[in-house]
Every structure is written in structure tokens, then in C-alpha cells.
A and B are shown apart, each in its own frame.
Chain A
Amino acid sequence: MKFGVVTFPGSNCDYDSYAAVRFILGEEVEFLWHKSEDLLGCDAVILPGGFAHGDYLRAGAIARFSPIMDKVVKYAHTGGVVIGICNGFQVLTESGLLPGALIRNDHLRFSCKFVHLRVENNESKFTSVCKKGEVLKIPIAHGEGNYYHFDEDISTLEDSGRVVFRYATPEGEVTDEANPNGSINNIAGITNEGGNVLGMMPHPERAVEDILGSSDGLRVFESLRACFGSSKKVVAS
């Protein structure tokens, strides 16, 4: 399968995402400049972490008007796979592809550390190789990752299995102490109604090799590959 990684001015995890897909997962990947209007036939589009357009006004608020976002939104509406990681999640909520908003962390500090995520739904395209309840160790790095949504809308998300990841203890217990930013119901990642758009604050692309402290993030990319199949050619020796 072929991934595309969007680079906005201010993206800083675009190369990490590219490297995770190309060198660790071993699939095709292309950079997509934010002013481009061509997704280059990518099967899955990654909106990476960083500070797109300086995060001026609100995180993701300006990025949603980058020319490529028109194409990304149209692609998502026709069932195309889109993953927003950290700043990319903020772009997805600002662009209306995912509900809710990501507001300032409740403790007001930028948080950069490993957290544990419990896989709440393993029937999503993004978690198909995980077990339900499995705990993934993946880092966060954000100041505005506090997922907020009004009560009645949260129940809709919860009831339809759209909460994919929740902050938990290493043992998989969802507690206040395990919540790094004040997110409602410890929500760390959600999908859209169609299940083809994922937004998550933690960085799976930063946890793809043991030398990085964890390779659990690879599970997200492997899940997608399991859905699409590999495009890797078998080379005769």
C-alpha cells in the first residue's frame, strides 16, 4: 500500500512518519506539500505532528485552509483513509472531519513522555492486528491535547465504538492518574462515523523500534497494511 505524509509549514513529525512507513513498515510513501492539490494516489494520508502554520489562532485552525486539505476532506468523505497524529488530530477536528476539540492541557504544561493506551476497539482499520484491551506504550508530546466534547455527543462516540484508544495505566486500568491532559473519558484517539478517519494525540510513528523505547506504535501501521495488503514486490534473489 502507499502512504502520503502531508507537510505543512511547521510540521515536524513528517520525516518521522515517512521513516516509520518506509524503513520500518517497508511500504511506499510520498511527501505531500500542503499547497499541492494531488494526493498522488495514496491509499492512506497521514497528517503529522508539529505546529502547522505556527499553531497561530488555534492549533490546526489555519492548516485546515491549506489547499491540500480540500482534497483530504473530499478523500475522507469518499471513504479514504486519513490519520491525524497530534497536530494532525487538531487539524482534523478543526476541519470538521472529526468531532470535538482539543483544548489546552488541564495542567497548562507541554507534556512529552511515554503513556499507555488501551485499545478499546480492535475492529477499526487502525487497530485490526491488536487485541481488544491490549495496552500500547506510545509517547505523547503536546500542550493542547485535552479532548473536549459536549456530554451528549460523547455518548454517541462511546456507544458507537468510535473511541479507539484511551489513556490507561500499564496494566490497562483507565484512571485519572493515567490521563496526561484532562481529556474527557481519558480519550486518546477517535474515529469518524465511517471508521476511515482516525485522530490520536499520541505519536505511533515515534514508537516503531525497540531502540526508541517501544515498537508498539507500529501496530497502527501494520493494522492498515493488513486492510490494504502490501504492495511490496518480491525480488528474486
Chain B
Amino acid sequence: MMAENKRAVVFVRLKDGVLDPQGVTIGKALQQMGYDDFVSVRTGKFFELEINDSNGDIDKKIDEVCSKLLANPVIERYTVERD
């Protein structure tokens, strides 16, 4: 029987100090809606990866694809959550 595929979720966020115009605009919208409790908003992305781990070195590969493609290390950082 085939082993069930594994899953990883990658979160990509802008590094501190990098301007996030979308986040600023969303934050302003919240203020206009009267939600004064939310003083700032930062946007980001997440990716769900379905994995058929044949060689058992998947952590290294996840790290590789994050730094090579999913995130731009100049402006972004990433975190990975595994099932």
C-alpha cells in the first residue's frame, strides 16, 4: 500500500522594515471601519506543499525551494510548518 503523502505549509513574510503598501492600505481600511484596536497590518503568502518523500531528505529540499523560489531572501523570510 502507498504511504500517504505528507504536507508542509510555508509562510512567507516581508522582513521587518520592508515597506508593505498593501498592509498599510488594509490597516487604514480597518481604521476607517472603526476597528481602532488593530494598529498595523502586514501581509504575506502561504504555500501548501504535498510531498511524496522518496529519499527521506525532504527538510533540506523544502529549505532549498523556499530560499530559491518561494521567498526572495532580500526582502522576505519564511517559516515552515509540517504535519
Q: Which residues of A line the B interface, CB within 8 A? A: 57-58, 61-62, 65, 93-94, 99-101, 103-108, 146, 148-150, 182
Contacts and interface: CB of A to CB of B under 8 A. Distances in A.
B33 interface: no
B70 A103 contact: no
Interface string B13-38: 00001110110010000000000000
Contacts of B21: 103-108, 146, 182
Interface of B: 17-19, 21-22, 25, 69-70, 72, 74-75
B69 A93 contact: no
B69 A106 contact: no
Contacts of A146: 19, 21
A143 to B, nearest CB: 10
Contact of B25 (A94, A108, A148): A108
B37 to A, nearest CB: 24
B15 to A, nearest CB: 9
A25 B67 CA distance: 41
Contacts of B72: 58, 61, 94, 101
Contacts, number: 36
Count chain B CB atoms within 10 A of each CB in A65, A100, A103 and give the residue with the most. Answer: A103
Contacts of B22: 104, 108
B69 A148 contact: no
Given A108-B25, A148-B18, A182-B19, A103 B75 contact: yes
A57 B19 contact: no
Given A93-B74, A148-B75, A103 B69 contact: no
B74 A57 contact: no
Contacts of A107: 21
Given A57-B70, A61-B72, A94-B72, A103 B25 contact: no
A104 B25 CA distance: 12
A94 B19 CA distance: 18
Contacts of A103: 18-19, 21, 75
Contacts of A61: 69, 72
B25 A101 contact: no
Contact of B19 (A65, A99, A100, A148): A148
16 contacts: A61-B69, A65-B69, A93-B74, A94-B72, A99-B74, A100-B74, A101-B72, A101-B74, A103-B21, A104-B22, A106-B19, A146-B19, A146-B21, A148-B18, A148-B75, A182-B21
A99 B75 CA distance: 11
B19 to A, nearest CB: 7
A185 B73 CA distance: 22
Contacts of B75: 101, 103, 148
A25 B25 CA distance: 44
A148 B18 CA distance: 8
Contacts of B25: 108
